[in-house]
Structure 1
Amino acid sequence: MVYLVAALLGYLIGSIPTAYLVVKQLTGQDIRQIGSGNVGATNVKRAAGFKPFLFVLLFDFLKGTIPVLISRFLFPDLHWLHVLVALATVLGHSKSIYLKFAGGKSAATGLGGFVGLDPVAGLLLAVIAYVIMRVTRMVSVGSLVASVLSPIMLIIFKAPVPYQIYAAVAGIYVIYLHKANIQRLLKGTENRI
């Protein structure tokens, strides 16, 4: 029962459509009809500017981090429960119940869950992703590299095996959600920041 409740709460928190709500509040527009149509922080920057982008990025990150930290605090030895909560937030962000099961690409929320599971490895991964984004000026490249590196880093940091499995599964899922970005990268037409 604990696992079911934790997964449901993680999903509902992850489902909060931050980008949609912020852009709707600031501009009256539906973010799904603007720019890339993605319900994520990068598209918020196009639709509403830099400060709303930062707010959405942080909020989406915390949607992944806080539920995992709470689950670790309440049930410190239940590693699979922590992983279930992290995966539920990622699924919620990409398949939001509030947006008829549509959503964003889960990179920030996935990274947030990663930081919740292993703060040191997660923050190091966040720095690497940020540097790659700054150098390439492409958010998708930073997200994709972080997705590939996340399970490797948890192996290096000797995190519990369930956490390593989370990093691999969530990383593959985030890469899958970036399939359109990958196609644009291969064509040399990916959007830059």
Structure 2
Amino acid sequence: MAIIIFYVCSYLLGSLMAGFLVVKLLGKKDIRDEGSGNVGARNAGRVNGKISFILTFLGDALKGAIVIIAGHYFGFSSELVLGGLGFAILGHVKPITLKFKGGMGISTFIGGMLAFEPFTALVIITGFLLLYPFLKSFTFAGLGSFLLIPFSFYFLGTDPAVIVVTGFLVLAIIYIHREDIMERLR
């Protein structure tokens, strides 16, 4: 029962949309009616400037980090804690608070992964820096760097269940970006 409550709370926390709040407070606008209509950090920056991007990114990343920290605090296994991150990402992508139209989950994923294993920051940054010169796309280089996380966990000797759940989360993020990917491949 405790894990179900944790997952429901993770989803609800994920449904709190930083971009909507930041742009509403700083820009007096509804971000859903501006730019791409997405409530994530990229659109917040596009619509309302760098400060809105930074605050939205940090707010959305904090959701993922809080879920990981809370899961560890309550003593759940690592794979169950990462499951909570999955629910927070789901809440971010399909928020009950905004009629199930949210962001793309990147910031929440990054915040959660950094709280889970801070070493992933080095993996993401290194992967991005290695991939960007070849791919010339922030989206592809970023998503490609995420693919390296499960492999880094394998080389760190991480529990196989954690590697599988992490791999699933990475594939979910890529799936969420499928339209973006297809558009860039054209």
For normalisation by structure 1, the TM-score amounts to: 0.86
> Which residue type is aligned with residue 118 of structure 1?
E
- Corresponding pairs, count: 185
Determine the C-alpha separation between the residues in 1 that align with 2:51 and 2:127: 20
Partner of 2:9: 9
Identity %: 29
Report the counterpart of residue 125 of structure 2 in structure 1: 127
- Assess if the C-alpha contact under 8 Å between 1:65 and 1:112 holds in 2: yes
The answer to whether the Cα contact below 8 Å between 1:83 and 1:162 also exists between their aligned partners in 2 is no
The one-letter code matched in structure 2 to 1:26 is L
Range with bigger deviation, 162-171 or 134-143: 134-143
Residue in structure 1 matched with residue 20 of structure 2 by the alignment: 20
User: CA, structure 1 residues 61+142, in 2 after alignment: closer, same or farther (shift >3 Å)?
Assistant: farther
Q: CA deviation at 1:137?
A: 7.0
Report if aligned partners of 1:11, 1:91 keep a CA contact under 8 Å in 2: yes
Partners of 2:13 and 2:168 lie apart in 1 by 20
Q: Distance in 2 between matches of 1:34 and 1:152?
A: 38
CA distance in 2, matches of 1:112, 1:40: 14
Instruction: Classify 1:65/1:132 alpha carbon distance in 2 versus 1 (closer, same or farther; 3 Å).
Output: farther
Q: Could you report, residue by residue, the CA deviation over 1:144-167 in whole angstroms, capped at 9, with x for unpaired residues? A: 113322221221222222321222
Verify: 1:143 aligned to 2:137, yes or no: no
1:137/1:63 CA distance change after superposition, 3 Å: farther
The question of 1:168 aligning with 2:167 is answered yes
8 Å contact kept, 2:124–2:146? no
1:133 positional shift: 8.9
| Mean Cα deviation higher: 89-98 or 158-167 | 158-167
| 1:91-137 CA-partner distances (Å, limit 9, x unpaired) | 111111101111111011112222222222x2213423664697677
- Shift of the 112–10 alpha-carbon distance from structure 1 to 2, 3 Å rule, reads same
- CA displacement at 1:43 relative to structure 2: 0.7
Matches within 5 A, 1:36-185: 36-75=36-75, 78-120=77-119, 122-128=120-126, 131=129, 138-185=137-184
Q: CA RMSD in A?
A: 2.1
- Structure 1, unaligned runs of 5 or more: 188-193
Decide whether the 8 Å contact of 1:132 with 1:141 is kept in 2: no
Letter in 1 for 2:64: G
Name the amino acid aligned to 1:125.
V
Contact persistence 1:87–1:166 (CA under 8 A): no
The structural deviation recorded for 1:181 is: 1.5
Given residue 123 of structure 1, which amino acid in structure 2 is its aligned partner?
A: A
With structure 2 as the length reference, what TM-score do the two structures score? Answer: 0.88
Superposed displacement of residue 20, structure 1: 1.2
